[in-house]
Structures are given as structure tokens and as C-alpha cells.
Structure 1
Amino acid sequence: MRKPRLLWANCYCLLDTSSGASISVREMLRQLARMGFEVAIIGATIFDSETGMSVLPANWKKRLETVDILVLSDPPLVHKLLMTNSHIRDRMMVFEEAKWYELYLHTLDSFSPDIVWFYGGRPFDYLIADEAKHRGIPVAAYLANGNYTKTRWCRDVDLIVCDSQATAGYYRARNGISPLPVGKFIDPDAVVAQEHVRRNTLFVNPSLEKGAALVVQIAMRLEKQRPDIRFEVVSSRGNWSELVRSISALMGTPRDALENVLLTRHATDMRPVYARARIVLAPSLWWESGSRVLAEAMLNAVPAIVTDRGGNVEMIGGGGVTIALPERFYQKPYMQLLDQALLDHVVGSIIELYDSESTYNGYIERAGAAGKSLHDMASSSQKLLHVMRRLLPSDAIPSGFDVPTASPSDRS
């Protein structure tokens, strides 16, 4: 009997190192392949940011003159990517979408998948599920954000997979749909540092949505009050320098840069960054389903400070400090200024994690425990395997196929 076949199909590139969703899905597919699925991937050269495009060969654009499809080996996976003139999804041309859709139809015919899996809520994405449904192929969708307000995107979807209990509950209450949470998918060998100097306050992906306005205010206060506390900002997507200028001007004290902030460029290997981190700041102001950075921090036993919105509290378990903010902070454009009491509270929490070794060591212990219990790859993989099995007909499951028994958390 052949292996069960799964086709991942959407216009984004899963090799995008600037996209948490792409990184997560790629690892999920790697695990499914190792557990017995035959996996095919079709995408396009669409990336969240130019910083995530380093995986592409240097001369890939020249191939546009002779071929449409770029094939990249990523053992045990192979990515077939339609080459597009722009890496930005909004600039993908209609004729490029038509070419991608032809690739999709061809792959359905040639690969004959048992499951089609995708993410996306644009009208073009509806065609992915619609065509599979028309052919009688079960459809799964991956959901890891809070952006969907309607349900048309999942009309033809049989199974919705998400990463956190928080997001599953959010959509049950908001839209009456029931995503199944399977956790984060992180290879610890790729993110866990061998040694930790625990020096910097780390902030990754500076953007207003992720709380950059708050971090600027906190760093400006600590620059005066505790210049020995150093920040490291990893600029995967946002522009930290522009944010410093705009937020400091809003505060009435214009600055071009902060002396206590080390700016690090996007890194495909985050282990040296986590090795330097004493704490991680993740004051997200939009609905973040579950920050990958926080899961990686817990695997490194690095405590975090998070806001009480979305799945980030769930990501850290007891391995950090949760900050409650008034509702106005969670409204666009996410540029509210902290009042004195709130700023004192957050700054005080950071200072305590530097000055009190007993307090800090307790958080290290709890962070490490959260990493082992909440972000174990084997456990998450078994949950994913269980939910995907629901879409397979019995005659598509080979004897000996490793399917776990459902736990109560799998059914929630």
C-alpha cells in the first residue's frame, strides 16, 4: 500500500526565514514526512520580507527568461516555486496567479493527494479549497493569526489546524469555528544555544503590532536610569531606526538612536542571539496566536515579559512576567504612550530580573520547564498526526502507520 499523500499548496514560499507561519508549516511538513506521509509542496517566490529570501539561489531571477518553476531540495521535502517578478504578494500579477493555478491543477492530477493543505484568506485562496472539494479531496487549513473576521475562506475546509488553545478559543467565540491546536513546531537543535551569557534584553521583529512603541519608551527610560542594561533588537522585518525617531518625537524628545540598543540584522541562526539574551520582550498589541520567538526562548530557558493578549501567555507557561495594558493600547496604530505608573511597572520588572538572582533563577527554571512541557516536538508531531488522520480514508492508512490515541486537549 502506498503512503498517504499530502499536498501543501499556496502562493507563499515555505523557505521564508522572515515568516513565522512559513517556518512552522515547513517544520510540520518535515515531521509528517518522517512519520510516513508523502509530501508535495507548490508555492511561489512570495516572501514576507526581502530578509527572508536568502535561501534562493543568487541567479534565480535570470531563470525567469527560460523557465517558470524553481525546484529547491530541502530534504526530506522538495519545493516547487512559481517564479514571480515581485516577492510581495500584493504585487503578484493576475497572469502569475493563473500560472500558479495551472501548476496546482497539474499537481492534483499527477500527485493525486489524499489531503490538500493550505493557508490564506484572499479570494484567490478560495480556489485552492474549492477545486480540491470539487474533486472529493479533503482539505485542511492552517490558522495562526487573528485576522479572519468572516468564514468564507473556510467554507470548503474540512479541518482547521492552529497552534494555540488561545486561538482555538478566539475563533470558537468569534466565528463559531473549531480549530484544533497542535502546538509549535521547533527543532531544538536549530535554536538552543549551548552556553548562555544572559546579558541582553532581546526584542525581535520591531514593528508597531509587536509593541515596538512600548519597547522604545522602555529603552529610553532605561538608557537614563540603568545604562548598564543593554537591549538587542533583531530587525527581521520592522525598521527600528524609523520607529525610534517617530516614537521619541511623539514623546517630545526626538532621537535618532539609543545608546543602550544593539541593532542586529536578521539572522537565520538565532542561537548566538539567544545565548546573549537574559530576557525576551514580546509586548504584542495585535492578536498573536503564539509567538515562535517565545517558544524558542522557553526552549533556551530564557524568561520573557509579555502582554496578556493572544496566545503569548500560553507560550511561556510560568516562564515569565505578564503585563496587563488598558484596551486603548490594543487599537491601531499601536502608538499609545505609557503613563508613568505603567512605565514604572514594566521597567521595574526588567530591573528585578537583572538585580535579583534568586528571582531570575526561579524564572529560568520555570521557563525551561515550559520549554520541555509545552514545546516538545515529538508531542506536537503526534497531535498533528492524529488530527490529519481524521481526513484519511481507512484504505489510505497503511498497516503500522503510527497514529496516537487522542487526548482531551486534542479534541478541544
Structure 2
Amino acid sequence: MKSMPAAPSSARLNATSCAAPAEARNPRLLWANAFCLLDTSSGASISVREMLRQLAARGWEIEILGATIFDDEEGVSQLRPHWDSINNSDLTLVNVADGLLRHRLVRTASTKRAHMTSSEEVAWLVQYIHLLDTMKPDLVWFYGGQTLDLLIPYEARIRGIPSAAYLANGNYRGVRWCHDVDLVITDSDATARFYAEREGFGAVPVGKFIDPDRFVSKDRNPEYITFVNPSLTKGAAIVAMLALSLEKRRPDIRFEVVQSRGDWAAVVRQVSAHFGGERESLDNVMVTSNTSDMRPVYARAKILLAPSLWWESAGRVLVEAMLNGIPVIITDHGGGPEMIGDAGIKVKLPQKCYEKPYAHVPSPETLKPLLASIEQLFDDDEAYRVLVERAYRVGRELHSLEASTNRLLSAFEPLVGRRSGDCDHARSLEQSHKHGLSRSVGATG
């Protein structure tokens, strides 16, 4: 990461100081968000979970409050052995052990955030306030800009507890969502610059958090062009066009599509119909179900294809590819170029491709340079070897898990150093309330 922009000016709001604790203790952090961090279909959830694992390994006390909300139903794969018992339980709150971490999940009737009911949101908020008042965290961390999310930093602030937000996409508009937030954390310099220029607030880039033990394959047999998450935003229509173009002409070049939030069959139908004959599958494409263990996938990957069309803040699959020595082909857009350095090929697409709903199908002529690059990497062993060596180097030099963790610790230290968990939260609540509540009432929140 090249820069560490200043935290938003709201960081000055929580300047309350507390007396030093009688005994030295480790920092306490509460992660609070309706989405489940065990979601294997959400790159943000996977990233935050790893960040929390690293903090826990450094001795931090971590509490996680979520709900049974996932980006996609495929994302429940990690909870699949317990899913029936969770759904059939009468409990409002379920606890899931996760190594150094523990997840408190408010049980919801639907896995979709849009279907979370008001009573479920209230149940989540009650749990959140309970943890604020009993755990007494030094820092609250979250992501999201929906109405419930706005209460997360607010409830922390009126207790004198600082908060941080994780921002790893280009979808946030305006600044109301971070009104009560002390610090915005992001994963790339590109996204920090993006929001500084568009919205005027600073964000601190800390990089991606990839544990090599969980994502690096030890035995590689590269043979496929790998594409993860076949959604239109990720460039699925572009990938389908490439596969369709190579299906008969180069049957030796095969693709592996890993399902996540997208629907590959629907994309194939759309693209093939555009060229005269609707189909649901292609002979040169193997479709793999969503998985919590990507190592076998990366073992088979010769090239990672990631032609994202929306603002891709950093793209964790790009970093995972670098650590595995896999060359990458990406669009020259968002934080992707920053993640791969010189270890891949960057392509430019017509501006219309980057516009919602990302369904524009470029002409075959437009994709000729991209097809030529793919064929070269399959036919020219020396050119491929050079990119493999570069990928390993970029992985070592730019994406060290220890370096990313140190950047995160440096960003958090000014906030957790206040030891706000040792403050008199009841006093802060009393002072912040417009009606001047008594200490006994204020302590309940």
C-alpha cells in the first residue's frame, strides 16, 4: 500500500479519555453487522473474518455479532452440517465456534438481507446494545450503509466508543453512512483515492488478508482458465463470449467456472442467444459448485480470468492467484491493476461495458486482442513462465499477511489506545440524552 490517508474528521468526535486500567489488558473489538462472516459467497465477509482471525492471534478479544444473512444461498456451505438444526431451532440466537473466533448469529427466516424483518432487526439491535454494555469494547467495527447499519456507530458514539467501517466496493454514495464513524478502512489505494475524489472523505488502505495455508495449493497441475463468481458485474458475459469463441477452434483450452452469487447457465443462455442459438452449457466449460476450499481449484488453474466491470476495490481472488503463482487477465479498472502489478495482462473494454446492468455484449472484434493473449499464454511456454515468476514475486512482496496485519494494527491503535471500554458508558449515555436521564435509566441504553 502506498499511502495512509487521514481518517475522517469525525474521528475527533470521540476524544473522551479514560483513566488507564489498573492492569494492562488486550484490546477489545466488537464486530457488528447483519451479514454472516461465515458466508463463502461474500468476498467482504471472507476478508473481514481473516482480519479478525489475525487480530485474535495477536491477543485481541473479539466478539462477533451477525445474523443468518448471506449474499447468496450458496454461501451457507460452511454451515451446511448445522444448517437444518439452526433452521429448526426455536432459539433467537445461535452460537457457532470458529477456531479463535465465535459467531453470535441472530436467526432469521430468510438468508436474504432484503427480507430481514423489522422484528429481526430489533432482535439484532437488542443483542448489539447488550454487547456494547457488557463486553465494553474499545472499538466497534462494521460494514454497510442501510438504516440498521447507521445505528451501529451511533450507539457506539453516544457511549464514547470509537467505531471503524470497512469499505471495499464503489457502491457507497454520500457521507451520511459514515457520519458517526471515526475511521474508514479500505483494501486498496485505488479505492481510497476513489472516495477522496468523489465524496471527500479519507480512508486508510490496509491491503488484502489471505492466509496462504488456506488458499495456496501445494501441488499444481495447471490446465484451466479459471473464473470465479459468474455474475454480470464480474464480467460473466465477457467470459461466456470468450468460451463460445474458443469452443470449436481451440478445444484444448478449457474453462472452469466456480459458482458463487452468479448463475452461469443464465449468462450462457443470454450470450448464446445473442449470437443465434440459445444454449445452457458449453462443451469447454466445467462448472464447479461454491466451495470453502479453493486450493483444488487453484491447483488446476493456468490463468485466472477476472474481467470485472463494476468498481472492484481489490478482488481477493487476484491476490490468491498471485500467492499461487497464477497469471491473471483483468480489466484496467478499479483496484485490480494495483493487486497484480506486472504479473498479468490488463485489457481495456468499451465504456458501455462498465455501465449498469453490465449486460452489454461487445463485438467479437473487440475481444480479439484478449483471445490472442489467452492463446499466447497456452502456446508460449516462456511467456507463461515469466508471468508465473512475476505472480509469485508480487504475492511475496505486496500481499504478505503479516504486513497487512501490521497496517491494520497501526490504523486501529489510535482508537483502541483510548481504552474506551474502561470509560463510564452510563455517564456518556446520560450526558448525550436530550431529557437528562438518571444514571439508572441511562445505563440500560
TM bracket, shorter-chain basis: over 0.9
Q: 2:60 aligns with which of 30, 34, 37?
A: 37
Which residue is equivalent to 1:246? 270
Which residue is equivalent to 2:437? none
Which residue is equivalent to 2:361? 337
The 5 A counterparts of 1:86-105 are 86-105=110-129
CA distance, structure 1, for counterparts of residue 399 and residue 30 of structure 2: 25
Task: Mark the CA change 1:241 to 1:352 in structure 2 (over 3 Å): closer, same or farther.
Answer: same
Given that 2:86 and 2:94 are in contact with CA atoms closer than 8 Å, whether structure 1 keeps it comes out as: no
Which residue is equivalent to 1:288? 312
Given that 2:312 and 2:336 are in contact with CA atoms closer than 8 Å, whether structure 1 keeps it comes out as: yes
Which residue is equivalent to 1:305? 329
Matched, 1:183 2:219: no
Given that 2:161 and 2:420 are in contact with CA atoms closer than 8 Å, whether structure 1 keeps it comes out as: no
The 5 A counterparts of 1:66-77 are 67-77=91-101
The alignment's C-alpha RMSD in Å is: 1.5
Code of the residue aligned with 2:318 in structure 1: it is L
SS in 2 for 1:120: coil
Which whole-Å deviations, capped at 9, do the CAs of 1:369-409 have from their partners, x for residues lacking one? 11111111000000000000021235679xxxxxxxxxxxx
How far did residue 62 of structure 1 move? 4.7
How far did residue 338 of structure 1 move? 2.3
CA distance, structure 2, for counterparts of residue 233 and residue 164 of structure 1: 26
- TM-score when scaled to structure 2? 0.87
CA distance, structure 2, for counterparts of residue 217 and residue 62 of structure 1: 40
The 5 A counterparts of 1:395-406 are none
Which residue is equivalent to 1:16? 39
CA distance, structure 1, for counterparts of residue 228 and residue 78 of structure 2: 20
CA distance, structure 1, for counterparts of residue 155 and residue 168 of structure 2: 23
Given that 1:10 and 1:42 are in contact with CA atoms closer than 8 Å, whether structure 2 keeps it comes out as: yes
How far did residue 256 of structure 1 move? 2.4
Which residue is equivalent to 1:166? 190
Matched, 1:132 2:156: yes
The 5 A counterparts of 1:214-363 are 214-363=238-387
How far did residue 347 of structure 1 move? 0.3
The 5 A counterparts of 1:43-54 are 43-54=66-77
Which residue is equivalent to 2:225? 201
Code of the residue aligned with 2:164 in structure 1: it is A
Stretch moving more, 334-343 or 83-92: 334-343
Given that 1:4 and 1:396 are in contact with CA atoms closer than 8 Å, whether structure 2 keeps it comes out as: no
Q: 1:28 aligns with which of 51, 55, 80?
A: 51
CA distance, structure 2, for counterparts of residue 319 and residue 224 of structure 1: 29
Number of aligned residue pairs: give it: 397
Q: 1:144 aligns with which of 150, 162, 168?
A: 168
SS in 2 for 1:71: strand
How far did residue 146 of structure 1 move? 0.3
How far did residue 59 of structure 1 move? 3.0
Which whole-Å deviations, capped at 9, do the CAs of 1:183-237 have from their partners, x for residues lacking one? 0001101111112111000001001000001011111111122111000001122
Percent of counterpart pairs with the same letter? 52
Unmatched 5+ stretches in structure 2: 1-23, 422-445
Which whole-Å deviations, capped at 9, do the CAs of 1:149-204 have from their partners, x for residues lacking one? 11100000000000111111100001011110000001101111112111000001
Code of the residue aligned with 2:85 in structure 1: it is W
CA distance, structure 2, for counterparts of residue 54 and residue 284 of structure 1: 25
How far did residue 63 of structure 1 move? 4.9
CA distance, structure 2, for counterparts of residue 333 and residue 131 of structure 1: 36
Matched, 1:386 2:410: yes
Code of the residue aligned with 2:313 in structure 1: it is S
Which residue is equivalent to 2:25? 2
Unmatched 5+ stretches in structure 1: 398-412
How far did residue 141 of structure 1 move? 0.3
Matched, 1:213 2:231: no
Which residue is equivalent to 1:405? none
CA distance, structure 2, for counterparts of residue 125 and residue 58 of structure 1: 26
Stretch moving more, 142-151 or 33-42: 33-42
Given that 1:279 and 1:302 are in contact with CA atoms closer than 8 Å, whether structure 2 keeps it comes out as: yes
Given that 2:328 and 2:345 are in contact with CA atoms closer than 8 Å, whether structure 1 keeps it comes out as: yes
CA distance, structure 1, for counterparts of residue 88 and residue 229 of structure 2: 32
How far did residue 64 of structure 1 move? 3.5
Given that 2:235 and 2:306 are in contact with CA atoms closer than 8 Å, whether structure 1 keeps it comes out as: yes
Code of the residue aligned with 2:53 in structure 1: it is R
CA distance, structure 1, for counterparts of residue 251 and residue 241 of structure 2: 14
Task: Name segments (4+ residues, structure 1) moved above 6 Å.
Answer: none
CA distance, structure 1, for counterparts of residue 35 and residue 418 of structure 2: 32
Which residue is equivalent to 1:372? 396
